[in-house]
Copies of this chain bind each other. A is one copy, B any other.
Amino acid sequence: MILTVTANPALDVSYRVDRLRPGHVHRIGAVFERAGGKGFNVSRVLHDQGVPTRALGPVGGILGDSLRADLLDAGLPHDLLPVAAATRMTIAVVADEATTFNEPGGPLSAFDWSRLHDLVRSYLPRTEVLVCSGSLPLDAPDESYADFVALAAEFGVPTVVDVGGAPLRAAAEAGVAIVKPNAEELAAAVDDDDPVAGARQLRALGAEAVVVSLGADGLLAATPDGEWRATLPEPVAGNPTGAGDAAVAALADSLRRGLTWPERLRLAVTWAGAAVAAPLAGTVDHDVLRALYNQVDVTPLQSPL
């Protein structure tokens, strides 16, 4: 079973408009709401692929109830921890392009952090891979995900972390199995804009493997078994939101199954592409999934570590 932790969930609200006109009143026709959070998306993809998973996260306030109802509706196994801080909202105003407004999320008290630890701990004996994904709540210590990495290690459970900046660096220092930043998140962690150099730096800090998502340019991986680029011959058209979460789901599942690194990367690029082809984050297009697998090119990097 793959356990996911979303530290800073949100109710994702989206409005479709013809055009966003700053300074004007927009009358919205239909309103779409969804339990948002990167770990939830990872669990949605795994659940859709028949992989046992459970999604954990802290929720509070009235939006927390709404989020819980959405996960119940989706039939996604979850265990949400009621906390004092009110769950935040994100607003996406969608015209030709999306304009988003992300609330910060209330700070989690030290007491609630320790309760979240207890909840994660209670599942670790049954867990094959732990995934910690998405931003941290306001004022959370940079070590918040690193602490989960250490906790999982006590149970012999490897952890995959998807976060940026200082929390990414802390996870590497805690000996995380895999981190999956995008180029920007990686650069914020290592102060080096070159993703290959950045990935190697995170490995030197203690991360076993670093997989960098490069959008339409695929994935770059620095691992104990070698370094690779995994790409598609041409980009998939669609909505890139959630593609990284699908890649994390594939990495966690292939870690669980003991696949080789080239196989893991092939799967990660396939799932990410199939997520781009599906309209909603946390879903994949099954036809595209089948079509892409054999198209992925996995090539060793020229300059070895």
Contact = CB atoms under 8 A, between A and B. Distances in A.
B102 A23 contact: no
A20 to B, nearest CB: 5
Interface string A1-25: 0000000000001010100111111
A272 to B, nearest CB: 20
Interface stretch (A91-99, A119-127, A151-159, A280-288): A91-99
How many copies of this protein are present in the complex? 2
A33 B27 CA distance: 19
Interface string A260-273: 00000000000000
B99 A28 contact: no
A27 B62 contact: no
Contact of A29 (B27, B97, B104): B104
Interface residues of A, number: 31
Interface in A85-124: 88-89, 91, 93, 95, 97-104
A66 interface: yes
Contacts of A62: 62-63, 65-66
Interface of A: 13, 15, 17, 20-29, 31, 62-63, 65-66, 88-89, 91, 93, 95, 97-104
